[in-house]
Structure 1
Amino acid sequence: MIDPFLFAKGIALGIAIAAPVGPIGVLTIRRTLIHGPRHGILTGVGAALADGVFGLIAAFGMVALSTWLISLKTGLHLIGGTVLLVLAIRTLLHAGHIERDPEKGRTEGGEIRAVASAFLLTLSNPMTILTFATAFTAVGLAETLSFASGLILVAGVFLGSASWFTALSLVVSATGGRLTPRTLLWIDRVAGVLLLVFSAYMFLALWLRW
Protein backbone atom coordinates (compact mmCIF):
# COMPACT_ATOMS: atom_id res chain seq x y z
CA MET A 1 0.00 0.00 0.00
CA ILE A 2 1.32 3.41 -0.99
CA ASP A 3 1.82 5.90 1.83
CA PRO A 4 -0.81 8.64 1.27
CA PHE A 5 1.66 11.21 2.60
CA LEU A 6 4.52 10.05 0.37
CA PHE A 7 4.14 12.91 -2.12
CA ALA A 8 4.02 15.46 0.70
CA LYS A 9 7.15 13.92 2.23
CA GLY A 10 8.89 14.25 -1.13
CA ILE A 11 7.93 17.91 -1.38
CA ALA A 12 9.22 18.55 2.14
CA LEU A 13 12.52 16.81 1.36
CA GLY A 14 12.92 18.75 -1.87
CA ILE A 15 12.43 22.05 -0.07
CA ALA A 16 14.73 21.07 2.80
CA ILE A 17 17.57 20.13 0.45
CA ALA A 18 17.11 23.16 -1.84
CA ALA A 19 16.68 25.77 0.90
CA PRO A 20 20.30 26.16 2.16
CA VAL A 21 21.99 29.07 0.40
CA GLY A 22 24.45 27.85 -2.21
CA PRO A 23 25.64 28.71 -5.72
CA ILE A 24 22.23 27.91 -7.22
CA GLY A 25 20.54 30.26 -4.78
CA VAL A 26 22.99 33.01 -5.69
CA LEU A 27 22.44 32.41 -9.41
CA THR A 28 18.67 32.38 -8.96
CA ILE A 29 18.71 35.72 -7.14
CA ARG A 30 21.10 37.37 -9.59
CA ARG A 31 19.34 36.10 -12.70
CA THR A 32 15.99 37.21 -11.31
CA LEU A 33 17.24 40.72 -10.65
CA ILE A 34 19.13 41.02 -13.92
CA HIS A 35 17.08 39.00 -16.38
CA GLY A 36 13.70 38.76 -14.67
CA PRO A 37 11.83 36.06 -12.74
CA ARG A 38 11.53 33.74 -15.74
CA HIS A 39 15.29 33.15 -15.83
CA GLY A 40 15.39 32.80 -12.06
CA ILE A 41 12.64 30.19 -12.09
CA LEU A 42 14.28 28.28 -14.96
CA THR A 43 17.54 28.22 -13.00
CA GLY A 44 15.65 26.60 -10.14
CA VAL A 45 14.02 24.11 -12.50
CA GLY A 46 17.47 23.03 -13.69
CA ALA A 47 18.59 22.44 -10.11
CA ALA A 48 15.33 20.62 -9.33
CA LEU A 49 15.87 18.27 -12.27
CA ALA A 50 19.28 17.32 -10.89
CA ASP A 51 17.75 16.84 -7.44
CA GLY A 52 15.19 14.58 -9.08
CA VAL A 53 17.94 12.49 -10.66
CA PHE A 54 19.70 12.10 -7.31
CA GLY A 55 16.41 11.35 -5.59
CA LEU A 56 15.62 8.69 -8.20
CA ILE A 57 18.95 6.99 -7.58
CA ALA A 58 18.49 7.07 -3.82
CA ALA A 59 14.82 6.02 -3.93
CA PHE A 60 15.45 2.90 -5.98
CA GLY A 61 18.65 1.95 -4.17
CA MET A 62 20.74 2.09 -7.33
CA VAL A 63 23.88 1.21 -5.41
CA ALA A 64 26.05 0.58 -8.46
CA LEU A 65 25.09 3.86 -10.15
CA SER A 66 25.37 5.74 -6.87
CA THR A 67 28.85 4.33 -6.22
CA TRP A 68 29.91 5.10 -9.78
CA LEU A 69 28.79 8.73 -9.53
CA ILE A 70 30.49 9.18 -6.16
CA SER A 71 33.68 7.69 -7.64
CA LEU A 72 33.54 10.48 -10.23
CA LYS A 73 33.24 13.22 -7.61
CA THR A 74 36.80 14.45 -8.22
CA GLY A 75 36.14 15.05 -11.89
CA LEU A 76 32.65 16.43 -11.26
CA HIS A 77 33.92 18.81 -8.58
CA LEU A 78 36.64 19.96 -10.97
CA ILE A 79 34.02 20.68 -13.61
CA GLY A 80 31.70 22.35 -11.12
CA GLY A 81 34.49 24.47 -9.66
CA THR A 82 35.61 25.54 -13.12
CA VAL A 83 32.07 26.46 -14.20
CA LEU A 84 31.59 28.50 -11.00
CA LEU A 85 34.94 30.21 -11.55
CA VAL A 86 33.97 31.17 -15.10
CA LEU A 87 30.60 32.45 -13.94
CA ALA A 88 32.25 34.43 -11.13
CA ILE A 89 34.80 36.05 -13.44
CA ARG A 90 32.15 36.82 -16.04
CA THR A 91 29.88 38.33 -13.39
CA LEU A 92 32.66 40.54 -11.99
CA LEU A 93 33.89 41.65 -15.42
CA HIS A 94 30.38 42.61 -16.51
CA ALA A 95 29.27 43.96 -13.14
CA GLY A 96 26.57 46.56 -13.46
CA HIS A 97 25.81 45.89 -17.11
CA ILE A 98 22.60 44.49 -18.58
CA GLU A 99 22.65 43.51 -22.23
CA ARG A 100 19.20 43.50 -23.79
CA ASP A 101 17.86 42.54 -27.16
CA PRO A 102 16.54 45.89 -28.44
CA GLU A 103 13.99 44.23 -30.72
CA LYS A 104 12.46 41.83 -28.21
CA GLY A 105 13.21 43.77 -25.03
CA ARG A 106 14.51 40.62 -23.38
CA THR A 107 17.85 40.03 -21.73
CA GLU A 108 20.39 37.98 -23.59
CA GLY A 109 21.20 34.48 -22.45
CA GLY A 110 19.19 31.47 -23.54
CA GLU A 111 16.56 30.02 -21.29
CA ILE A 112 17.87 26.57 -22.11
CA ARG A 113 21.29 27.69 -20.89
CA ALA A 114 19.74 28.85 -17.61
CA VAL A 115 18.29 25.37 -17.04
CA ALA A 116 21.35 23.49 -18.27
CA SER A 117 23.90 25.45 -16.23
CA ALA A 118 21.94 24.96 -12.99
CA PHE A 119 21.42 21.28 -13.77
CA LEU A 120 25.14 20.68 -14.38
CA LEU A 121 26.21 22.68 -11.33
CA THR A 122 23.87 20.69 -9.08
CA LEU A 123 24.89 17.43 -10.72
CA SER A 124 28.56 18.28 -10.06
CA ASN A 125 28.04 17.33 -6.41
CA PRO A 126 27.25 13.58 -6.42
CA MET A 127 27.46 13.53 -2.62
CA THR A 128 23.90 14.84 -2.75
CA ILE A 129 22.91 11.20 -3.30
CA LEU A 130 24.07 10.47 0.25
CA THR A 131 22.07 13.45 1.49
CA PHE A 132 18.93 12.02 -0.08
CA ALA A 133 19.66 8.53 1.24
CA THR A 134 20.11 9.92 4.75
CA ALA A 135 16.96 12.02 4.44
CA PHE A 136 14.94 9.04 3.24
CA THR A 137 16.10 7.08 6.25
CA ALA A 138 15.21 9.93 8.59
CA VAL A 139 11.60 9.97 7.38
CA GLY A 140 11.21 6.21 7.41
CA LEU A 141 11.85 5.52 3.73
CA ALA A 142 14.96 3.43 4.10
CA GLU A 143 13.24 0.29 2.86
CA THR A 144 13.11 -0.49 -0.85
CA LEU A 145 10.27 1.38 -2.50
CA SER A 146 7.99 0.02 -5.16
CA PHE A 147 8.30 1.53 -8.62
CA ALA A 148 5.11 3.57 -8.20
CA SER A 149 6.07 4.77 -4.70
CA GLY A 150 9.54 5.74 -5.86
CA LEU A 151 8.17 7.81 -8.73
CA ILE A 152 5.68 9.55 -6.43
CA LEU A 153 8.44 10.37 -3.95
CA VAL A 154 10.81 11.70 -6.61
CA ALA A 155 8.01 13.75 -8.20
CA GLY A 156 7.46 15.32 -4.79
CA VAL A 157 11.19 16.03 -4.41
CA PHE A 158 11.28 17.72 -7.82
CA LEU A 159 8.18 19.80 -7.08
CA GLY A 160 9.48 20.79 -3.65
CA SER A 161 12.86 21.87 -4.98
CA ALA A 162 11.37 23.70 -7.97
CA SER A 163 8.76 25.37 -5.73
CA TRP A 164 11.43 26.69 -3.38
CA PHE A 165 13.44 28.32 -6.15
CA THR A 166 10.28 29.62 -7.83
CA ALA A 167 9.18 31.22 -4.57
CA LEU A 168 12.68 32.67 -4.07
CA SER A 169 12.66 34.14 -7.56
CA LEU A 170 9.17 35.63 -7.20
CA VAL A 171 9.97 37.16 -3.81
CA VAL A 172 13.20 38.69 -5.13
CA SER A 173 11.36 39.99 -8.19
CA ALA A 174 8.56 41.50 -6.09
CA THR A 175 10.88 43.21 -3.62
CA GLY A 176 13.68 44.13 -6.00
CA GLY A 177 12.04 47.25 -7.32
CA ARG A 178 13.78 49.39 -9.89
CA LEU A 179 17.50 48.80 -9.92
CA THR A 180 19.79 51.77 -10.08
CA PRO A 181 23.14 51.31 -11.84
CA ARG A 182 24.93 51.49 -8.49
CA THR A 183 22.66 48.84 -6.92
CA LEU A 184 23.13 46.60 -9.94
CA LEU A 185 26.89 47.03 -9.70
CA TRP A 186 26.96 45.92 -6.05
CA ILE A 187 24.61 43.01 -6.69
CA ASP A 188 27.00 41.73 -9.35
CA ARG A 189 30.04 42.30 -7.15
CA VAL A 190 28.55 40.41 -4.20
CA ALA A 191 27.28 37.60 -6.46
CA GLY A 192 30.67 37.34 -8.17
CA VAL A 193 32.53 37.13 -4.86
CA LEU A 194 30.13 34.49 -3.52
CA LEU A 195 30.53 32.41 -6.68
CA LEU A 196 34.31 32.72 -6.28
CA VAL A 197 34.01 31.46 -2.70
CA PHE A 198 31.94 28.45 -3.79
CA SER A 199 34.44 27.72 -6.58
CA ALA A 200 37.37 28.01 -4.17
CA TYR A 201 35.61 25.63 -1.77
CA MET A 202 35.30 23.00 -4.51
CA PHE A 203 38.95 23.35 -5.51
CA LEU A 204 40.06 23.27 -1.86
CA ALA A 205 38.09 20.06 -1.32
CA LEU A 206 39.86 18.54 -4.32
CA TRP A 207 43.28 19.64 -3.05
CA LEU A 208 42.65 18.19 0.43
CA ARG A 209 41.48 14.92 -1.12
CA TRP A 210 44.72 14.62 -3.07
Structure 2
Amino acid sequence: MVTLLAGSIVLGLSIAAPVGPINIEIIRRGLTFGFWPALCVGLGGMSSDLLLMFVMFLGAGMVLSWSWVQITLMLLGCLVLTHAGWTSFRKPVVSEWDAAEGNRRSRGASLVSYARGVLIAGTNPMNILFWVSIYGSVLSGALQKEDVLHSFLISSMVFIGIGLWNMNLAFIVHFSRSIMTFTLLKWIQRTAGLVLLYYGVKFGFEACLLIGKSGWL
Protein backbone atom coordinates (compact mmCIF):
# COMPACT_ATOMS: atom_id res chain seq x y z
CA MET A 1 0.00 0.00 0.00
CA VAL A 2 2.75 2.44 1.00
CA THR A 3 4.75 1.53 -2.10
CA LEU A 4 1.72 2.15 -4.32
CA LEU A 5 1.03 5.55 -2.76
CA ALA A 6 4.70 6.55 -3.01
CA GLY A 7 4.68 5.48 -6.66
CA SER A 8 1.64 7.69 -7.24
CA ILE A 9 3.51 10.68 -5.79
CA VAL A 10 6.44 9.92 -8.09
CA LEU A 11 4.01 9.75 -11.00
CA GLY A 12 2.75 13.22 -10.08
CA LEU A 13 6.32 14.52 -9.94
CA SER A 14 7.06 12.98 -13.34
CA ILE A 15 4.01 14.73 -14.80
CA ALA A 16 5.06 18.15 -13.55
CA ALA A 17 8.84 17.91 -14.00
CA PRO A 18 9.28 17.96 -17.82
CA VAL A 19 9.90 21.36 -19.37
CA GLY A 20 6.61 22.71 -20.67
CA PRO A 21 4.43 25.82 -20.73
CA ILE A 22 3.51 25.70 -17.02
CA ASN A 23 7.11 25.32 -15.82
CA ILE A 24 8.27 28.06 -18.18
CA GLU A 25 5.55 30.40 -16.92
CA ILE A 26 6.44 29.59 -13.28
CA ILE A 27 10.05 30.55 -14.02
CA ARG A 28 9.05 33.69 -15.90
CA ARG A 29 6.67 34.91 -13.18
CA GLY A 30 9.08 33.98 -10.42
CA LEU A 31 11.93 35.95 -11.93
CA THR A 32 9.72 39.01 -12.41
CA PHE A 33 7.50 39.06 -9.32
CA GLY A 34 8.86 36.53 -6.84
CA PHE A 35 7.70 33.42 -5.02
CA TRP A 36 3.94 33.89 -4.62
CA PRO A 37 3.09 34.77 -8.24
CA ALA A 38 5.26 31.83 -9.37
CA LEU A 39 3.49 29.50 -6.95
CA CYS A 40 0.10 30.84 -8.06
CA VAL A 41 0.87 29.78 -11.64
CA GLY A 42 1.41 26.27 -10.32
CA LEU A 43 -1.76 26.44 -8.22
CA GLY A 44 -3.72 27.56 -11.27
CA GLY A 45 -2.32 24.65 -13.25
CA MET A 46 -3.22 22.30 -10.40
CA SER A 47 -6.78 23.64 -10.42
CA SER A 48 -7.11 22.62 -14.06
CA ASP A 49 -5.46 19.29 -13.24
CA LEU A 50 -7.96 18.77 -10.43
CA LEU A 51 -10.86 19.43 -12.80
CA LEU A 52 -9.46 17.01 -15.38
CA MET A 53 -8.83 14.44 -12.66
CA PHE A 54 -12.41 14.80 -11.47
CA VAL A 55 -13.70 14.42 -15.03
CA MET A 56 -11.65 11.26 -15.49
CA PHE A 57 -12.73 9.96 -12.09
CA LEU A 58 -16.35 10.28 -13.23
CA GLY A 59 -15.50 8.41 -16.41
CA ALA A 60 -16.26 11.34 -18.70
CA GLY A 61 -12.88 11.41 -20.42
CA MET A 62 -14.54 10.62 -23.74
CA VAL A 63 -15.67 14.26 -23.96
CA LEU A 64 -12.04 15.33 -24.18
CA SER A 65 -11.54 13.05 -27.18
CA TRP A 66 -14.12 14.89 -29.29
CA SER A 67 -12.41 16.71 -32.14
CA TRP A 68 -14.21 20.04 -31.68
CA VAL A 69 -13.27 20.07 -27.97
CA GLN A 70 -9.61 19.40 -28.81
CA ILE A 71 -9.57 22.08 -31.52
CA THR A 72 -11.12 24.66 -29.18
CA LEU A 73 -8.60 23.90 -26.42
CA MET A 74 -5.66 24.02 -28.84
CA LEU A 75 -6.74 27.38 -30.24
CA LEU A 76 -7.18 28.79 -26.73
CA GLY A 77 -3.76 27.44 -25.79
CA CYS A 78 -2.28 29.05 -28.88
CA LEU A 79 -3.72 32.45 -27.94
CA VAL A 80 -2.73 32.26 -24.26
CA LEU A 81 0.83 31.05 -24.83
CA THR A 82 1.51 33.36 -27.76
CA HIS A 83 0.37 36.36 -25.73
CA ALA A 84 2.42 35.28 -22.69
CA GLY A 85 5.52 34.64 -24.80
CA TRP A 86 5.29 37.90 -26.73
CA THR A 87 4.76 39.87 -23.51
CA SER A 88 7.76 38.20 -21.90
CA PHE A 89 9.97 38.83 -24.94
CA ARG A 90 9.05 42.51 -25.26
CA LYS A 91 9.29 43.27 -21.53
CA PRO A 92 11.76 40.66 -20.37
CA VAL A 93 12.36 41.59 -16.75
CA VAL A 94 11.99 44.43 -14.27
CA SER A 95 15.19 46.30 -13.52
CA GLU A 96 16.86 46.20 -10.12
CA TRP A 97 15.55 49.64 -9.20
CA ASP A 98 12.04 48.51 -10.06
CA ALA A 99 12.21 45.46 -7.79
CA ALA A 100 10.43 47.18 -4.89
CA GLU A 101 7.61 48.24 -7.20
CA GLY A 102 7.42 44.68 -8.50
CA ASN A 103 7.05 43.40 -4.94
CA ARG A 104 4.25 45.88 -4.25
CA ARG A 105 2.46 44.65 -7.35
CA SER A 106 2.99 40.98 -6.50
CA ARG A 107 -0.43 40.64 -4.86
CA GLY A 108 -2.19 41.68 -8.05
CA ALA A 109 0.27 39.65 -10.07
CA SER A 110 -0.62 36.57 -8.02
CA LEU A 111 -4.24 36.67 -9.18
CA VAL A 112 -3.20 37.16 -12.80
CA SER A 113 -0.64 34.36 -12.44
CA TYR A 114 -3.27 32.00 -11.05
CA ALA A 115 -5.65 32.73 -13.93
CA ARG A 116 -2.87 32.23 -16.45
CA GLY A 117 -1.92 28.92 -14.85
CA VAL A 118 -5.53 27.74 -15.14
CA LEU A 119 -5.67 28.71 -18.82
CA ILE A 120 -2.28 27.26 -19.77
CA ALA A 121 -2.87 23.90 -18.08
CA GLY A 122 -6.50 23.70 -19.15
CA THR A 123 -5.72 24.29 -22.82
CA ASN A 124 -2.45 22.34 -23.02
CA PRO A 125 -2.99 19.31 -25.31
CA MET A 126 -0.01 17.51 -23.75
CA ASN A 127 -1.55 17.89 -20.30
CA ILE A 128 -4.96 16.75 -21.48
CA LEU A 129 -3.39 13.80 -23.31
CA PHE A 130 -1.88 12.59 -20.05
CA TRP A 131 -5.13 12.70 -18.14
CA VAL A 132 -7.05 10.99 -20.92
CA SER A 133 -4.48 8.28 -21.67
CA ILE A 134 -1.94 7.53 -18.95
CA TYR A 135 -3.92 8.58 -15.89
CA GLY A 136 -7.09 7.14 -17.38
CA SER A 137 -5.40 3.75 -17.72
CA VAL A 138 -4.00 3.88 -14.18
CA LEU A 139 -7.36 4.88 -12.74
CA SER A 140 -9.20 2.26 -14.76
CA GLY A 141 -6.93 -0.49 -13.48
CA ALA A 142 -7.27 0.73 -9.90
CA LEU A 143 -11.05 0.83 -10.11
CA GLN A 144 -11.15 -2.73 -11.42
CA LYS A 145 -8.95 -4.10 -8.64
CA GLU A 146 -9.75 -1.88 -5.66
CA ASP A 147 -12.57 0.15 -4.20
CA VAL A 148 -13.40 3.78 -4.99
CA LEU A 149 -11.70 5.08 -1.82
CA HIS A 150 -8.44 3.41 -2.79
CA SER A 151 -8.62 4.96 -6.26
CA PHE A 152 -9.29 8.36 -4.68
CA LEU A 153 -6.16 7.99 -2.52
CA ILE A 154 -4.07 7.19 -5.58
CA SER A 155 -5.45 10.27 -7.34
CA SER A 156 -4.68 12.41 -4.28
CA MET A 157 -1.07 11.21 -4.18
CA VAL A 158 -0.65 12.07 -7.87
CA PHE A 159 -1.97 15.55 -7.11
CA ILE A 160 0.37 15.93 -4.12
CA GLY A 161 3.33 15.03 -6.33
CA ILE A 162 2.39 17.78 -8.79
CA GLY A 163 2.08 20.28 -5.93
CA LEU A 164 5.47 19.35 -4.47
CA TRP A 165 7.16 19.96 -7.81
CA ASN A 166 5.47 23.33 -8.33
CA MET A 167 6.41 24.52 -4.83
CA ASN A 168 9.99 23.36 -5.25
CA LEU A 169 10.37 25.14 -8.60
CA ALA A 170 8.84 28.36 -7.22
CA PHE A 171 11.29 28.30 -4.28
CA ILE A 172 14.30 27.69 -6.52
CA VAL A 173 13.38 30.49 -8.93
CA HIS A 174 12.63 32.95 -6.12
CA PHE A 175 15.90 32.45 -4.25
CA SER A 176 18.09 32.11 -7.33
CA ARG A 177 16.94 35.43 -8.82
CA SER A 178 18.62 37.33 -5.95
CA ILE A 179 22.06 36.08 -7.10
CA MET A 180 21.50 36.61 -10.82
CA THR A 181 22.71 39.63 -12.73
CA PHE A 182 20.23 41.83 -14.58
CA THR A 183 21.66 40.76 -17.94
CA LEU A 184 21.24 37.07 -17.09
CA LEU A 185 17.68 37.65 -15.90
CA LYS A 186 16.91 39.47 -19.13
CA TRP A 187 18.15 36.64 -21.32
CA ILE A 188 16.41 33.98 -19.26
CA GLN A 189 13.14 35.85 -19.60
CA ARG A 190 13.59 36.30 -23.32
CA THR A 191 14.41 32.62 -23.73
CA ALA A 192 11.31 31.75 -21.70
CA GLY A 193 9.28 34.03 -23.97
CA LEU A 194 10.59 32.27 -27.07
CA VAL A 195 9.73 28.86 -25.59
CA LEU A 196 6.17 30.00 -24.82
CA LEU A 197 5.88 31.39 -28.36
CA TYR A 198 7.07 28.03 -29.70
CA TYR A 199 4.39 26.14 -27.79
CA GLY A 200 1.76 28.67 -28.84
CA VAL A 201 2.62 28.29 -32.53
CA LYS A 202 2.84 24.51 -32.13
CA PHE A 203 -0.65 24.28 -30.63
CA GLY A 204 -2.03 26.55 -33.35
CA PHE A 205 -0.42 24.38 -36.04
CA GLU A 206 -1.81 21.21 -34.45
CA ALA A 207 -5.26 22.80 -34.33
CA CYS A 208 -5.06 23.60 -38.04
CA LEU A 209 -4.03 20.01 -38.82
CA LEU A 210 -6.90 18.68 -36.75
CA ILE A 211 -9.33 21.03 -38.50
CA GLY A 212 -8.08 19.73 -41.86
CA LYS A 213 -8.45 16.10 -40.79
CA SER A 214 -11.96 16.69 -39.46
CA GLY A 215 -13.04 18.10 -42.83
CA TRP A 216 -14.19 21.44 -41.43
CA LEU A 217 -12.40 23.30 -44.22
Q: Under TM normalisation by the shorter chain, which class is it?
A: 0.7 to 0.9
Q: Which has the higher helix share?
A: 2
Q: Distance in 2 between matches of 1:42 and 1:95?
A: 20
Between the aligned residues of both structures, percent identity stands at 26
Per-residue deviation, 1:116: 1.7
With structure 2 as the length reference, what TM-score do the two structures score?
Answer: 0.80
Which residues of structure 1 form unaligned runs of 5+?
none
Q: Does 1:73 align with 2:74?
A: no
Q: Show CA shifts across 1:133-183 (max 9, x none).
A: 543477585253644233322222221111111111212223333343322
Residue 79 of structure 2 corresponds to 82
Evaluate the alpha carbon distance shift between residue 103 and residue 157 of structure 1 in structure 2; reply closer, same or farther with a 3 A threshold. Answer: closer
Residue 30 of structure 1 corresponds to 28
Residue 161 of structure 2 corresponds to 160
Q: Distance in 2 between matches of 1:55 and 1:39?
A: 24
Q: Distance in 2 between matches of 1:127 and 1:57?
A: 17
Which residues of structure 2 form unaligned runs of 5+?
213-217
Q: Does 1:182 align with 2:179?
A: no
Q: Is the 8 A contact 2:33 2:103 kept in 1?
A: no
Residue 11 of structure 1 corresponds to 9
Residue 124 of structure 2 corresponds to 125
Give the total of aligned pairs.
Answer: 207
Residue 170 of structure 2 corresponds to 169
Per-residue deviation, 1:202: 0.6
Q: Show CA shifts across 1:27-74 (max 9, x none).
A: 111111211111111111111222222223333422454445x64110
Instruction: Provide the aligned C-alpha RMSD in A.
Output: 2.8
1:78-157 matched pairs, under 5 angstroms: 78-97=75-94, 102=101, 105-107=104-106, 109-125=108-124, 128-136=127-135, 141-144=140-143, 146-157=147-158
Q: Is the 8 A contact 1:81 1:199 kept in 2?
A: yes
With structure 1 as the length reference, what TM-score do the two structures score?
Answer: 0.82
Evaluate the alpha carbon distance shift between residue 147 and residue 185 of structure 1 in structure 2; reply closer, same or farther with a 3 A threshold. Answer: same
Residue 215 of structure 2 corresponds to none
SS at match of 2:74: helix
SS at match of 2:18: coil
1:58-69 matched pairs, under 5 angstroms: 58-67=56-65
Residue 54 of structure 2 corresponds to 56
Q: Distance in 1 between matches of 2:208 and 2:11?
A: 31
Evaluate the alpha carbon distance shift between residue 183 and residue 127 of structure 1 in structure 2; reply closer, same or farther with a 3 A threshold. Answer: closer
SS at match of 1:170: helix
Evaluate the alpha carbon distance shift between residue 191 and residue 137 of structure 1 in structure 2; reply closer, same or farther with a 3 A threshold. Answer: closer
Evaluate the alpha carbon distance shift between residue 85 and residue 126 of structure 1 in structure 2; reply closer, same or farther with a 3 A threshold. Answer: closer
Per-residue deviation, 1:18: 1.1
Q: Is the 8 A contact 1:133 1:142 kept in 2?
A: no
Q: Distance in 2 between matches of 1:199 and 1:130?
A: 17
Evaluate the alpha carbon distance shift between residue 97 and residue 142 of structure 1 in structure 2; reply closer, same or farther with a 3 A threshold. Answer: same
Q: Distance in 1 between matches of 2:62 and 2:51?
A: 15
